[in-house]
Each structure stands twice: as structure tokens, then as C-alpha cells.
Amino acid sequence: MAQYFFDLLYNFTDCMCCFPSSPQLKINNRSFKLMRLLGEGGFSYVYLVQDKATSELFALKKIRCPFGQESVSQALKEVEAYNLFNSQSNIIHSIDHCVSTESGSKFRSDGGDPGSKTVYILLPYYQRGNLQDAINANLVNHTKFPEKRLMALILGVADALRAMHQYRVKSGASSTRKAKGVRREGEEADAERTMQMKPKRRASHRADDEDEENEPLMDDEVTRSQEGVEDGDLRPYAHRDVKPGNIMIADNGQTPILMDLGSLAPSPIAITSRSLALAVQDTAAEHSTMPYRAPELFDVKTGSIIDTKVDVWSLGCTLYACLVGKSPFEARSEETGGSLSMCVLGGDWRFPDEKSGASKGKAKSGEGEASKNDDPAISEAVKDVVRKCLTVEPSERPDIDELIDLMKGVIAQMPEDDVAVILAGLKRGDLAAATADALAAAQASTIICTGHCQPELQPVIDHINRKFKNANMIFVTADSSSLASMREAGHVIKRIGLPIDGFIGFPSVMAVPWEMTADGHESHFQKNYLSYFLLVNVILDLMVPKSRIVLVTSSMRVEAPAPTWRDIRFSNGEDYHCLDGYAQSMQAIILFIKSLAKKYESRSITAFSANPGSKYYSVSVNSADFDRYQDQCADVCYDRADRDMAAAEGDK
């Protein structure tokens, strides 16, 4: 208990030392402000930090290297690996790193050696979190990954693994030089630390060094494993800890980023002795997460070969976890009450919709008994990918090339599941924001939002991203008072390149005083009508068959006169009334929609003008039920965009 207290107190004072009263830290002359703790484990902590000069956000990994527990070389092995793969877009890279000497602490239970080292690694920050965060969100919200999008994510991870499994030595490349420089830095730091130790302890380290020289190549080698390998020759590596928590999701919501290369190991490793078998097994127990660890790492046999197929097994477990919510062996072990390791070694697992007596996930098409719930079943082709990955015998398991070919074939045969919708005119706390929430709840995997000011709208986007981890919110700046801005927004959307299933546009202004835009148009007419006329026409070629275009309108007061269209500028404001300007823009929208509906009927593109209901406007100030009405109005807008509604009603 006393030791636990001392360790806890040390960790607290250590953080206070690194991040003083004004929490900040310097890494190689760059100053960072500590924002919050993102995670921790073992001797490492990960913080969200902000560059004080540029305001950019980064993830900072701090690794303590206490004497006798973890060397600086081992900690820097991660940076060494990052430098090898820094050209791979779907493998995380380190931006900077440093090794600092921490002053001793009287609170440390081991005496607080004054030469203790700490390694800091600066990494990119991905605000969407990792795949495990998305799995947790699915469990909370009772949602699932769209299968095709999930398979595309897993294929991206497989591409990252292929870069490791088929790495070719580039001894002259800057990446390799940097990696070797990191290794030397770690060795020098360890040597300096050793010189500060007591003679008895130094002797112990010399004995350890002699033992290491007698051992074959071990897991903690990275660039040293390339010695003797000629330029261009293969020097494969295995990640050894593929799991949902080590797969970040890039800010575009589409790209997986494989991270945490501290477990990286040269591959294959021939197990030539019992001592080497135990060493590899112990390393796996320390660095490879148990529910995702391959069976050959649980019980390493003398005479066996540990190769890159351990990652194929882990990727299969990861895919299963995304589909079901947990590793196949966690699920089976909880179901049977048996040992997780025994489930892994025996290949004992099954899909939830298979017979309770089925094991090893080997039920073929038609053999499984569907579970008695309304959840969509996992397609047989996707199940087959998992089954092949979770083949207990490594020689029968596909290698990474075979797995990639298999997944590409499966994806090619899958129907489209992405529902990309453009939501134009987003504002904070209004009908458009409620509609965005409704679309995300309906698993529209990509919502392209346009609006005038991103900082003002970012809280709306962040809220939806947190609430629905599978929703991909993309913001495109579009100022309805500038036709040039709207045209550029259309081109940005075209560069994104996603097929568009729906377009929903909301009025920008209502009954405002007289104003002319910089383009020379009355503000209602341009902001509510011309801006969307331009944007829709720019992106029309992205609209897929059965897609829908919805422009939101509203009812006018009975006593308001109908637009005459004789003078759309109202004599430059002399004959202007705010209701007349608004009515003119609404009628222009309806005429535009009628024209679109007729023109694109042959392409099965349906166009609507939708009046969400006058309740939204009449109760927006005084009614306590405003939020309920707002949600109901959002449902109207969503219904009009639902491509499966064969008989939707509207002003067409």
C-alpha cells in the first residue's frame, strides 16, 4: 500500500514538474501548452498539447525510463520505427522527439535516481479518435458500421501492414538515416545513464550485455536488423499489436492510421532454442494485447517460425470486434466462462447469429441460426474474411497480399452503403443543425455541410461527431452573399469526389432590411435562391440515380401580396418591404425546384420544396416545446431527402 502511495505521488509531482503552474513544455525550442490527458498505460502518458506559436494541436507521448525497468533505447525504438515508414500515409509518423533528464524525486519509492530519463514523442492529433472509440459509440448508440465503409477501413489497415511486411531496405534514404540516428541517440543516453550508476549496478549491466551478445536477433531490434541486408532487399517487420485501439481515424473520416509501433519486430524469427522461445513469448505477453494476439505467440514452440501472419490474425480479430463489439475470444470466453488463452489456442469462437453449439466460426452459408433480433446480419462474404484470418495454423492463414486480394474482391461485390448528403446553410442551433443530427442518426455516413463561418459552426460538427462516431461531417465554407464563394464551394465538393445522394438547402435570411450584395442582387434573392441555384448546378453531375434535392421554403402570411417579378431589385430599395423580398426568394425556389424535377426526371433525380411547418416559426420565441417542434420539422426535411420514400408528398 505504501509503495502504491509513493508511486501515485511521484506520478503527480512528475507531471507537475513537466507541466508547471502555466502548463507548458519545450521540445527542441518549440513551446507547447498542455490541454488534457488523452490516455495512459504502463510507463507512458499521452497528452493533447497545443503549439503556442501556431495553435496547432498535437498528441504528446511521454515515456518514463526508470532504472532497471525500461531503457531509453527501447523507448526510442518507437521513434526509430516511425522514421522507417514516414512515407506511408496510413502509418503514423513522429513530428519530433527529445530525451530529457529528470531531476530525482524524494517521493519515488526506488529512491529517485537523479539520472532518470524521459522520452517525449510529438505525434499528429486525430480528433476522431480511434476505431475502439467508434466501437464503443456503436454499443452506446445501438448502431453499426456500414459494411462497405468498414471493409474499406480494414483494407486501409491491411495496406499499412503490407508496407511493413514487405519493407525494402533503403540504406541511403533519409528515413533510414534518421532511424539509425535515433538508435544511436538511445544508445548514447543509455551509456550516459549507465556511467552514473553504482559500480555494482554497472557490473550487472555488463553481464546483461554479454548475455545479449550471445542471443540471436531479438524483437527489440529495428534498424540493426537491416545490417547485412543489401539495398532493395526485403527486411520484413510485423506490427505485433494490431487492435482497434491502435487504429486512428483521420480527420476526413475515411483513412485509417496504424499507430503505436513500440511492438514492431523483425520478421520472420526462427525459434532455435527454448530460451529464445520463452523470450519471444514474454515479449508478446508484454507488447501484444491478449484478445488480439495470435495463437503461435501464446505458446511459442522451439523449431517454429514466427512471421508476419500474426498481424493477419490480429486484423481478423479487429474486423470481428468492429462487427460485433468485442474480440471473438473475449466474446466466447465470456459466453462459456472458459480461459481466453484456451479459446485462442483452440480457435474456439463463433458469430452471434450462429448456432450456440457452433465453434471456431466455421459455420458455412445457411448453417447459422439467425439471432432473434432486428439487427442487420453480417454478410457471408465478410464472415468469410474473418474466418480465413482466424485460421489457427499459420501456414494455412493467408498472407497480407492474399488477404488484400480477398478483401478487394469482397468490396467490389458489395452494394453501396455510403449515404453522402449535402446540407447547405448550416447554422448553430437552428433547423439545419437539427436536420444534420437526424441525418447522422439515420447513419448517413458522410454529411457535407456548407456555411459561412466554420469557427462558429464547429461546435455543431464536434457535437455530432462525438454523438455519432460513424458520421463523417465535412465542412465546406460557402458564403451565400458571394457567388464566387458558392462556386468555389461547389468545386471543393467535386474534389471530395463522393457520389451525392441528397441535397438539402436552408434559407439564409428571412424578412431582413433592404440590402444589396456585392454581386448586385437584393439580399433575399441572392442568399436564399441564386446561391443555391449556382451550387446545385455545379454539383449536379455528382447526384446519383434516385437522389433527392430539397430546398426549404415557408408559408407566407395570407395578407402578403404575391411577387410580381416586374422589378426584382424593388427600385433599389425604394419600393422594398422585407416580406416582399422574402416572398420573392421563396417563390423563386419553388419555380427552380419545379424546373429541376421536370428536367432530371429521366435521371431519377427527384426535387422538392419542403415547408417544414409554420409551427417552427410561430413558436420559436415563446413556446417551451420549441425543441420538440424543431425536431419534428427536421424529420420533414429528412423525409424529403429519403431516397427510399416512393410516395413522398411535397411541392414538386
Convert the pLDDT of each residue in 37-54 to its tens digit: 988 876 788 999 999 998
**Which are the contacts of 476, defined by CB distance < 8 A and separation ≥ 6?**
448, 449, 450, 489, 492, 493
Bigger pLDDT: 26 or 210? Answer: 26
Report d(CA 600, CA 96) in Å as an integer: 54
Residue spans of the domains in the chain: they are 1-125, 132-189+234-371+381-415, 420-641
Rounded Cα distance, 174 and 120, in Å = 22
CATH number of 1-125: 3.30.200.20
Alpha carbon 9 to chain centroid, angstroms: 34
What predicted TM-score, i.e. pTM, was given to this entire model?
0.63
CB 500 within 8 A of CB 543: yes
Pairwise pLDDT comparison (271 vs 223), residue with the higher score: 271
Angle (CA) 579-585-589 rounded to 5° is 140
Query: What is the reported pLDDT for 65?
Result: 78
469 annotated as ligand-binding: no
Residues 652 and 597 sit within 8 Å (Cβ to Cβ):
yes
Q: How far apart are CA 239 and CA 161, in angstroms?
A: 7
Find out whether 61 and 121 touch, Cβ atoms under 8 Å: yes
The pLDDT mean for the chain works out to: 78
Give me the percent of the chain exceeding a pLDDT of 70: 72
User: What percent of the chain is helix, strand and coil (3-state, nearest 5)?
Assistant: 45, 15, 40
- Per CATH, which fold does 132-189+234-371+381-415 belong to? Transferase(Phosphotransferase); domain 1 (1.10.510)
Containing H/E element for 627? helix 626-641
Q: What confidence tens digit (pLDDT) does each residue in 151-186 have?
A: 999 999 999 999 999 998 876 555 555 555 555 555
Q: Do the Cβ atoms of 76 and 26 come closer than 8 Å?
A: no
CA distances (Å), origin 349, targets 177, 336, 346, 364, 398: 45, 10, 9, 14, 19
Cis peptide bond upstream of 268, omega within 30: yes
CA dihedral defined by 513, 519, 525, 528, rounded to 10 degrees? -100
CB atoms within 10 A of CB 307: 21
Residue partners of 65: CB distance under 8 A and separation at least 6 = 43, 71, 72, 74, 75, 116, 117, 118, 119
CATH topology of domain 420-641: Rossmann fold (3.40.50)
